[in-house]
A and B are shown apart, each in its own frame.
Chain A
Amino acid sequence: MKRFVLAGLFASAMAVPAFADYTIIAPANPGGGWDQTARTMQTVMQEDGISGSVQVQNVPGAGGTIGLAQFASQNKGNADALIVGGYVMVGAILTNNSPVSLADVTPIARLTGEYEAIVVPAASEIQDMQGLVAALKENPGAVSWAGGSAGGTDHIAVGMIAKAAGVDPTTINYIAYSGGGEALAAILGNQVTAGVSSLGEFQPQIEAGTLRLLAVSSPERLEGVDAPTLKEAGLDIDLQNWRMVAAGPDLSDEQKAKIQADIETMVKSENWQKQLADKGWMDTYLSGAEFDAQLAEDTAATEAILKEIGLVK
């Protein structure tokens, strides 16, 4: 019985968070990229004394739009609440017709990012990106692509590749999996022609020689990665799956400046850099007006490509 009481205390502690300097909403289930980003922020901010106590709360669902909607309505003018989000959210807001968008919160900074990798199984006849594009041009339906959820970064990447190659994006045969991991199994099992996901998901397999890396979606070649960029392969694509942090709507300039300063201290800390290195995340920190401009540009480009794939009417 004693442990039941203890268990009850645990539940009430989770249901009613105690006083915290910052509460970070991870709009996804535990374990995913956003959850890990939020929990890493929690660790660094607490250990480096940026914030005395940080709570992480998971509000999963619908590409982060449920968490975003809840966050925007509950935290007007609240400078203590943060939400983690990312590029996938931009697409999800569009495909789900979400009533709340990133314009309804205060974007603070882009934190990390990962580039997309295009791979084929080691046993595949396709040797390079040109070969894959040729197969795609010959018969778009015969090239099956495995990647993450529909309308996510991986799907958008395939749409962009088709468009850049002059193939109608609505004809692509994209097989959506619930995540990079499940897609990876399909690629390794030779179930599909090619795979698209963030480079980190494929890296161990590429090193072990079970997958062949055809191209990466970065603007320039990546250090230590033996593959051309999509641009080199003649496809004008620069795509990054980034993660960001935002604060509540209607903040005063002082409030916003304080959060920006806290986040900057965190990003510049040795602890944060070490965590990024451990997790294989790239530091793509961008804040202020530059980030706002980048966000607007990404949103417009995403909307255009989702319309062309036919996911957004």
Chain B
Amino acid sequence: MGAFDFLLQGLATASEPMMLLYALIGVTLGTAVGVLPGIGPALTVALLLPVTYRLDPAGSLIMFAGIYYGGMYGGSTTSILLNTPGESASIITALEGNKMARKGRGGPALATAAIGSFVAGLIATLMLAFLAPWIVKVALVFGPREYFALMVLAFVTVSAAFGDSALRGLTSLFIGLALACIGIDQLSGQARLAFGVPELLDGIEVTTMAVAMFAVGEVLYVAGKSGQEDDKVEAVKGSVWMNRQDWARSWKPWLRGTAIGFPIGAMPAGGAEIGTFLSYATEKKLSKHPEEFGEGAIEGVAGPEAANNASAAGTLVPLLTLGLPTTATAAIMLAGFQQFGLQPGPLLFATNPTLVWGLIASLLIANAMLLVLNLPLIGLWVKLLTIPRPWLYAGILLFATLGTIGANPSTFELGMLLAFGVVGYVMRLYGYPIAPLVVGLILGPMAEQQLRRALSISQGDWFTLVQSPVAAVLLLIALLALVVPLIMRARGKGQVLSQLAADED
């Protein structure tokens, strides 16, 4: 039987009524737990995995796929509506999505996230099915120096993409990088900047930081402004559905997001975040409405959400073909496979085709189910915003706290949540962008480790960084992205630049 026959057979099994019911339960549970801020897909899957043990392999797999995609999607709902990202990959979604929601365009924001996730999930799952063995070979070319070059590229594009003032953006980024130094240094095992506090040994939890900066900071900011004139939150303005223009502005970001997210997710050290950052930077660069970025641009939701879901499917490439769990969620999925005596690895596609294709078919069904479940609910979700503001913000604070405590029951963690909430408030007050700080916290340790690994392998020879063609090209692009705008501005050709950006499409 060829790959296609296996897929069709899997789809036939997965679309039996009982299986659809399991998928529905999985998606609902996954979404319900996933919406909690601070609780990402990894914890969602870990909490709900035992639920699937009772079922037969096919039912278990499909419920499992539902929980996985449901958990991924749940995070973006709270990001958009409440500005509380449930996981690091939906941080970018909060940037534009929440701005849209406050202008009464929460409906289209949720819709473009849902449909974008579906499109990306569909394309990426199909790519996983048919291209996995080839993609993994390419991904293995990426060693420490290539990853370092990729991080440098992300830093450059990201710091240019956020906020109006480069100086403020960079300040925020470097605060993030400094905070990223806290904790045990992975390469030497020594603690840095932990001041003897055991909770700091593992560094600052990214989701705690993100929830503190975005949600708690926001709540304080709103509370601080009360009594003054402030910008109104309009629950619904116009239709809750996407209009013609929304569609026109969304479909290209969906495809670009997929194209960026999938290969990065497939890399053993890629992860979902870098894809969302790069997608956001790309959309801002290519948009015909760059002035809307930061004010609620739909491209800024569509692209990163697609990238996020595409990289989730990309993560399965090294998991299924090499047995490499590259994220916490993937590690739990590995545990899920093992309950069927399924050992992911290079021989999996050959030895266990029925289960593998069953899983892929389940992912496709769960993906579709998610869309079916969530589109009609969007009208209900956006009603959340009609709750009187004091209640709404008190509720956000409550959920942010519960989420943090639920993920890590520690008073110190809670203290950090509140302390960084105050930092977020102060930064908002003085007009510093928040996102670069969180980006620095996520990418800082990765960049540092990869650089040091590369130098360690080459025994201290810095030229190793440019001796690989892939790394050299990536660094060159980063250099151009940094230098060209400076030169153009210096020559008074800033307008040429924005003209260029507008022409590209």
**Residues of chain A at the chain B interface (Cβ within 8 Å):** 1, 3-4, 6-8, 10-12, 14-15, 29-32, 35-36, 39, 42-43, 57-62, 65-66, 69-70, 95-96, 98, 141-142, 144, 149-151, 155, 173, 175-176, 178-179, 181-182, 184-186, 188-189, 191-192, 203-205, 207-208, 210, 278-280, 311
Contact = CB atoms under 8 A, between A and B. Distances in A.
Contacts of A181: 268, 318, 323-326, 331
A66 B332 CA distance: 22
Contacts of B390: none
Interface string B332-347: 1011001101011111
A138 B21 CA distance: 63
B35 A173 contact: no
Question: Taking chain A's interface residues, is the majority helix, strand, or loop, or is none over half, making it mixed?
Answer: helix
Interface in B389-426: 399, 402-403, 405-406, 408-410
Given A57-B409, A176-B186, A185-B318, 19 more contacts: A7-B32, A10-B32, A15-B405, A31-B42, A31-B46, A31-B330, A39-B50, A39-B335, A58-B43, A60-B202, A66-B201, A66-B202, A95-B189, A175-B457, A181-B331, A184-B322, A185-B269, A278-B338, A311-B188
Contacts of A191: 143-144, 457
Interface in B444-465: 453, 456-457, 459
B140 A8 contact: no
A280 B343 CA distance: 9
Given A31-B328, A35-B46, A204 B346 contact: yes
B372 to A, nearest CB: 16
A66 to B, nearest CB: 5
Interface of B: 28, 31-33, 35-36, 39, 42-43, 45-47, 49-50, 53, 139-144, 184-191, 198-199, 201-202, 268-269, 318, 322-326, 328-332, 334-335, 338-339, 341, 343-348, 380, 383-384, 399, 402-403, 405-406, 408-410, 453, 456-457, 459
Nearest to A6: B32
Contacts of B143: 186, 189, 191
A12 B141 CA distance: 45
Contact of A61 (B202, B325, B330, B334): B202
Contacts of B338: 278-280
Contacts of A96: 184, 191, 198, 201
B320 to A, nearest CB: 11
Nearest to B45: A30
A62 B409 contact: no
B47 A14 contact: yes
B32 A188 contact: no
B189 A14 contact: no
A30 B46 contact: yes
14 contacts: A10-B33, A11-B39, A11-B405, A12-B402, A15-B402, A31-B335, A59-B410, A61-B201, A96-B191, A149-B189, A173-B457, A185-B324, A186-B144, A204-B344
B326 A182 contact: yes
Contact of A205 (B198, B201, B322): B322
A16 to B, nearest CB: 9
B332 to A, nearest CB: 4
Contacts of A176: 186-187, 189
A150 B189 contact: yes
Contacts of A311: 188-190
Contacts of B50: 39, 42-43
Contacts of B346: 204-205, 208, 210
A12 B406 CA distance: 8
Contacts of A11: 36, 39, 399, 402-403, 405-406
A179 B322 CA distance: 14
Nearest to A185: B268
Contact of B459 (A58, A173, A210): A173
A59 B43 CA distance: 12
B36 A65 contact: no
B199 A61 contact: yes
A150 B452 CA distance: 14
Contact of A7 (B36, B53, B380, B456): B36
Contacts of A59: 408-410
A155 B330 CA distance: 24
A185 B269 CA distance: 9
Given A60-B202, A61-B202, A184-B322, A150 B188 contact: yes
A207 B347 CA distance: 9
A62 B347 CA distance: 35
Contact of A65 (B35, B39, B201, B330): B201
Contact of A70 (B46, B323, B383, B410): B410
B324 A149 contact: no
B347 A43 contact: no
Nearest to B53: A43
Nearest to A95: B189
B165 to A, nearest CB: 35
A164 B331 CA distance: 34
Nearest to A211: B346
Contacts of B457: 144, 173, 175, 191-192
Contacts of A39: 46, 49-50, 335
B55 to A, nearest CB: 14
Contact of B343 (A31, A70, A178, A204): A204
A61 B143 CA distance: 27
A92 to B, nearest CB: 9
B223 to A, nearest CB: 21
Contacts of B201: 61-62, 65-66, 96
A278 B339 CA distance: 7
A30 B345 CA distance: 21
Q: For A31, A175, A204, A207, which residue has the most chain B Cβ atoms within 10 angstroms?
A: A31
Contacts of A208: 345-347
Nearest to A193: B457
Contacts of A70: 410
B341 A65 contact: no
A15 B345 contact: no
A123 B318 CA distance: 20
Contacts of B187: 150, 175-176
